[in-house]
Structure 1
Amino acid sequence: MKKGCLIGGIVLLAILSIALGYYFYQQSKTDPVVYEFESPVYQEIIKKTVATGSIKPRKEVQIKP
């Protein structure tokens, strides 16, 4: 009886480990990455900036003539 339980336990452990390995293998699979391609287009890049206020120096130096 002990020998039959030991063999049955080993077989059950082997089946569980195979099933667990298959489960983790399926979880680790990822879908392939699909890239979308576009044709290049010639355009002019124009960037305009508007700033208000005044320019103040960080450090002012006095010059003596």
Structure 2
Amino acid sequence: MREIPPPFCFICKNDFEDKVDRMFYCICDTAVCDECVNSVKNSESTWICPKCNTENNLEKSKLFRENP
């Protein structure tokens, strides 16, 4: 399988270079867009990386996060 590095979505393969704030990132350097993340959600607060199966927190895996 060919590697799909960020800012390309691992699932839909779309380029999000101008919209990196819509991406969720895993430690394995895999990105998933905000639409595709719904297909890999484990719960309301976590998603499972489709490449390495790591469970990630939705809010903490965004590149840009809102300050509390």
TM-score, shorter chain, exceeding 0.5: no
- Larger % of strand: which? 2
Structure of higher CA gyration radius: 1
Q: Which has the higher helix share?
A: 1
TM-score (norm 1): 0.14
